[in-house]
Amino acid sequence: MNHHSTFIRAAATVASGLLLAAFAGCAPKEKTAAAPGLTQVAIQTDWYAQAEHGGFYQALAKGFYKDQGLDVDVLQGGPSTRLAETVATGRVAFAIGRSDDVMNSVSQGLPLVIVGALMQHDPQGLLLHEENPVNDFKALDGKTVMASPGAVFVQYLQSHYKIKLNIMPLNYGLAQFMADKNFIQQCFVTNEPFYVRQGGGKPKTLLLADSGLEPYRVILTSQKFARENPEVVRAFLAATFKGWADFMSGDPAPGNELILKRNENMSKELLTYAIGEMNRLKLVSGDPGKGERIGLLTRKRLREQMALMVDLKILAEPLPLEKIARFDLLPADLQPLVGE
């Protein structure tokens, strides 16, 4: 079997952040009754179990949630998962997302609130072949990019760099990319490049966080749940951030074992690659030299993101920060760092 057909077979089974696959067997497991004395909550992820959710699975595997009095279920997502609506309607307590998406949802009336950072920097980027002469965002002018229609980053890049992009809808596959050395598409830098290399390609990426657009990846809940269950939120965040620190800096094997068990299409090789990239790019931990920490949200950074979205006319006007985020539910060691 040649490299290309091997790659297509691999791509058809990848459990990456953006690649569609035959995941009919990956439905979330049925939830049993909570263990005696524990509070039962669930978090809905955006995709099938993967390294980008590793902190949740590490906390689950090592008993960090149980230590906080919680019985947590980590629900797998997929291409049709509607995170904001799932949380807003109370079907689950928590979900993950991007801070700019949450701001947009809140502006449209959904009663959501950010309670912590999942990642300090978003892993979304643009995937290119090494042979492609485009090496920076300015050079994208006039290029066709396969991306999510209406994505904030498209509007931002065009406005900030004074360029024009031709957008074709993202189809979550890599076949067109592999067939065309000039093709450019949206990706997660933590996984698509892995599969391109497996298929014999030489990928390079432009990390969107390097463009000046820096949304957090966040943990969110509903305003109602945060208001009525502050101690549950605090306990969940404390255990989750401990899980992330352990997953990224310690031995990730317990979390990886759970991920592999939940998602039969995941591989140890992709997990190793994704963890390496998350560490190399400081996606979860951020840069301590800039005051970034696992889980931390700052008022200044969220205000800056909101101002940018107003400039892009995504938001009509700035929203009160208390409608966007709760800082008082973060662990005590992060409280002095949130700013004014």
- State the pairing for strand pair 203-207/124-129: antiparallel
Q: Where does the pLDDT of residue 34 fall: very low under 50, low under 70, confident under 90, or very high at 90 and above? A: low
d(CA 236, CA 240): 6
Is the pLDDT reported for residue 52 higher than 50? yes
Is the pLDDT reported for residue 21 higher than 60? no
Q: Under DSSP, is residue 41 helix (H, G, I), strand (E, B) or coil? A: strand
Write down the pLDDT at residue 30.
39
Q: Under DSSP, is residue 309 helix (H, G, I), strand (E, B) or coil? A: helix
Give me the domains of the chain, ranges plus CATH numbers. Answer: 39-121+215-337 (3.40.190.10), 123-211 (3.40.190.10)
Terminal-residue alpha carbon distance, the chain: 59
Residue 273: partners with Cβ closer than 8 Å, 6 or more residues away: 190, 191, 194
Is the pLDDT reported for residue 23 higher than 70? no
Say what the pTM is: 0.87
Q: Is 315 left (phi over 0), alpha (psi -120 to 50) or beta?
A: beta
Beta strands in the chain (DSSP E): 39-44, 70-75, 94-98, 112-119, 124-129, 144-147, 166-169, 185-188, 203-207, 217-222
Q: Maximum distance among all alpha carbons in the chain? A: 60
pLDDT tens-digit series, residues 151-174? 889 999 999 999 999 999 998 899
Q: Tell me, rounded to whole angstroms, the distance of Cα 248 from its chain centroid.
A: 15
Higher-pLDDT residue of 14, 256: 256
Write down the pLDDT at residue 64.
98
